[in-house]
Amino acid sequence: MISLADIKRAANLLHGSVMRTPLVYSHTFSEMTGMEVYLKLENLQLGGSFKVRGATFKIVTHLDEIKSRGVIAASVGNHAQGVALAAHAACVPATIIMPIWASIAKQQATRGYGAKLILAGDSLVESIAIGQRMASETQMTFIHPYDDEEVMVGQGTIGIEILEDLPDADYIFVPVGGGGLIGGIAMAAKSLRPAVHVIGVQSSACPSAREALQVGRPVELEAEERGVLADAIMVTRVGDASFPILQEAIDEIAVVDEDQIASAMLLLLERKRILAEGAGAVPLAALLSGSLGIPKGSKVVLVISGGNVDSLLLDRIIAAGLRKQGRLMRFSVCLEDVPGSLARLLDVLEKQQANVVHIHHVRNERDLPINFTKVNLELETRGFEHMNEIEEDLKKANYNFVIG
């Protein structure tokens, strides 16, 4: 099992090669929770996530033996970019295997760091198996995204930095996928401050670590990896190397759903101007859920593990977060297709000071009377109470509408 001495050695080796990310106090989230909340901003790290730490340590540690043959890795995105960036810095050839459905933005970013990219596998597990087979055939060094003690040691340098900046931290919330990040952080943090509580956070779409801890061994879950906000932690089986550390050093595993993740991403963006990917926002989602019984006044660190959000996905994430907070209202209404009908509807909305974001007319829908038009509206609202007030005014004005 990895040790604090290993992680301190990694910190020395990584000095100057990776960024020491800031630990930032959040007045907003502290006020919301009654705690002292700090954000460890790994979204500002080279490559946009913590992954470059473990990849760099792995490569630097074995540089002499891998420099000519190169490295190979498999990833949905963040680990790919971390390995590609670390390999480029060390002048080492890198090949990355990505599932065939990996986002174009992450493919391009990986290529941009100089790696050779191969799309293969219907899942991350399949891509990893393909990468491991290729590594054995070519004598390249395979860098596993989480099930590798040296990778975990590199990620553990985050724990040292947190405790150096906030020696009396009470809680550290960490995203959990395969367990490499939390394994390294927990070992460092618990060694430096045994009283600190380390809380893992998973998506309800794939709670593999929670299931493993409940049954006492890593288990394979069936989960859809694509199309979820926290795709970076959609790992269906925790690593064999990280599992013993999870058993020994993790105090609790929290689980959050898609709506909570979207809301947390929006809060980070609006209140702190921090762009966090879904996996990076799960610690905030868990803290704001209020389900963990954290005492008021506690010093809490949230590890914002990454910020690699696809541009085309961002508007949908924002919309989902706004709907969760009651700040985006959508409804359809049928209006008589005569001059003034729309103006009268907008007068009702204007009295409630609702901001019309989108409006769309549909005249050729089946079952729609020929002298009527269907109008779909999207409004910016102040919350659920405001939405209820708008609905009441629409009813009083005798509009037949459908919320959707």
Q: Given CA atoms 106, 107, 108, 114 in this order, what sign does their dihedral have? A: positive
Task: Quote the domain boundaries for residue 344.
Answer: 326-403
Determine the residue type at 108. Q
CATH assignment of the domain containing 399: 3.30.70.260
Average pLDDT in the 80-86 region?
95
Are residues 337 and 310 located together in one domain of the fold? no
Are residues 176 and 211 located together in one domain of the fold? yes
Residue 299: predicted pLDDT = 98
Are residues 239 and 359 located together in one domain of the fold? no
Separation CA 17–CA 53 (nearest Å):
9
Largest Cα span, the chain: 78
Tokens of 205: 């779409």
Q: Is 9 exposed, middle or buried (0-12, 13-18, 19+ CB in 10 A)?
A: middle
Instruction: Name the pLDDT band for 355 (thresholds 50, 70, 90).
Output: very high
Least confident of 207-216, 304-313, 378-387: 304-313
Are residues 280 and 241 located together in one domain of the fold? yes
Are residues 177 and 260 located together in one domain of the fold? yes
Are residues 234 and 160 located together in one domain of the fold? yes
Average pLDDT in the 210-222 region?
93
Sheet holding 197-203, edge to edge: 23-25, 36-41, 299-304, 171-175, 197-203, 252-256
* Last residue of one domain, picked from the residues 318, 346, 366: 318
Are residues 365 and 309 located together in one domain of the fold? no
CATH assignment of the domain containing 24: 3.40.50.1100
Least confident of 121-130, 296-305, 378-387: 121-130
Are residues 278 and 368 located together in one domain of the fold? no
Residue 363: predicted pLDDT = 81
* Last residue of one domain, picked from the residues 318, 353, 385: 318
Q: Is the per-residue pLDDT at 15 higher than 70?
A: yes
Q: Is the per-residue pLDDT at 225 higher than 70?
A: no
Could you tell me if 206 and 235 are in contact, meaning their C-beta atoms sit under 8 angstroms apart?
Answer: yes
Are residues 156 and 283 located together in one domain of the fold? yes
Residue 223: predicted pLDDT = 73
In the chain, the number of structural domains is: 2
Rounded to 5 degrees, φ, ψ at 313 are: -85, -20
Tokens of 403: 């919320």
Average pLDDT in the 349-365 region?
90
Are residues 285 and 373 located together in one domain of the fold? no
Q: Given CA atoms 162, 166, 168, 170 in this order, what sign does their dihedral have? A: negative
Average pLDDT in the 223-241 region?
84
* Last residue of one domain, picked from the residues 318, 337, 372: 318
Separation CA 231–CA 225 (nearest Å):
6
For 115-148, what is each residue's pLDDT tens digit?
999 999 988 889 999 999 999 999 999 999 999 9
Are residues 338 and 253 located together in one domain of the fold? no
Tokens of 234: 């959609």
8-state DSSP, 399: -
Question: How many other CB atoms sit within 10 Å of the CB of residue 195?
Answer: 8
For 166-198, what is each residue's pLDDT tens digit?
999 999 999 999 999 999 999 999 999 999 999
Are residues 280 and 357 located together in one domain of the fold? no
Work out the percent of the chain whose per-residue pLDDT is above 90: 81
Tokens of 84: 């590609």
Could you tell me if 188 and 4 are in contact, meaning their C-beta atoms sit under 8 angstroms apart?
Answer: yes
pTM of the model: 0.87
Query: CB under 8 Å to 164, separation ≥6 — which residues?
Result: none
